[in-house]
Amino acid sequence: MLSAFYRTHKPELVVIVSPRVSGIRADQIISRLPFSSSHRVEARGFAGALADQIREPWLLAGDFNAVLDGSDRKDRFGRPDISSKAFQECVHSASLVDLGFVGGRFTWKGGGYHARLDRFFCNDGWRVLFPEASVFHMPFTCSDHRPILLKQGSQPPPHE
Which residues, 6 or more positions from 67, have their beta carbon under 8 angstroms from its beta carbon? Answer: 73, 81, 83, 84, 87, 115, 116, 117
For 90-111, the pLDDT digits (tens) are: 888 888 999 999 999 999 999 8
- pLDDT at 23 (0 to 100): 83
Q: What average pLDDT does the structure give for the chain? A: 82
pTM of the model: 0.76
Segments making up each domain of the chain, as ranges: 1-10+58-160
Q: What are the pLDDT digits (tens) for 8-58?
A: 877 777 777 765 677 888 888 888 877 778 777 776 555 557 666 778 898
30 vs 25: CA distance, rounded Å: 9
Radius of gyration in angstroms for the set of CA atoms belonging to the chain, rounded to a whole number = 16
Q: Which of 98, 99, 74 is nearest to 87 (CA)?
A: 98
Cα separation, 10 vs 151, in Å, equals 11
Cβ partners under 8 Å of residue 98, min gap 6: 68, 91, 119, 120, 121
Sheet with 97-98: strands ordered across: 59-63, 118-122, 97-98
Class of domain 1-10+58-160 as given by CATH: alpha beta
